[in-house]
Amino acid sequence: MILPLLITYLGLACGVAIGMIAREELSDGERYFKILQGAIAGGIAFFITYFFIQNALLGAAAGMILGGAVIYAATKTAPATMGMVSYAVLPIPFFIAYKAGLKYPLLVIFPAVASLVFLYGFPTGSLLLKEKVPLIKIFLYTSAFIPLSLILFYGLRSISL
C-alpha cells in the first residue's frame, strides 16, 4: 500500500517539474490545466461509483457532477487553495478504491484510481507553480495526502465495504 501511495503522490512532483521546464507555457495552459483537473476528478468519481453501484450511467453522472464541481472550484479559487484542498480529499477515493479492490478485482479499480490520482498531480503541480507558490509550501500544503491515506488504510482496516 505504501509504494503505490508514494508513486501517486509523485504526480505532484512531476507536475511541478514539468512546470519548471516549461514556465513560459504555464499562463497559456492555465485554463486547460483546470479542465484537466476536472476531467481527472470526474474519472475518479466514475470508477468509484461504477464499481460500487455497477451502473455506468450513474457512474458517468457522478463523474460529470464531480468534474464540473472541480472545474468550477478551480476557476473560483486560487490554485494554492485548490491544490491543498484536493490533496487533502484525494486519500478518500484512494482508500475506497483499495478497500473496494478487496470486494472487486483489485487489478482493475485500484490501479485505475491510483493512476488518476497520479495524473491529477500534473495540472495541480503546474498550477501551484504558476501561482508562484514556493516549492516548500507546495509540498507542505499537499503533504496531508500521505498521512491521511495511511490513517485511512491502517486505522480503518477492519471496515468492510
- Contact between residue 5 and residue 142 where contact means Cβ atoms under 8 Å apart: no
Query: Domain segments of the chain: what residues?
Result: 2-155
Residue-level pLDDT, tens digit, the chain, 161 residues: 677 788 888 888 898 899 899 888 888 888 898 888 888 888 888 887 777 777 778 878 888 888 888 777 777 777 667 777 787 788 878 777 777 766 666 677 778 888 888 998 888 888 888 888 888 888 887 777 888 887 777 766 555 55
Residues 6+ apart with CB under 8 A from 53: 59
* Distances from the Cα of 35 to the Cα of 74, 79, 110, 144, 155, angstroms: 9, 13, 24, 24, 34
pTM of the model: 0.80
Cα 27 to Cα 43: distance, rounded to the nearest angstrom? 25
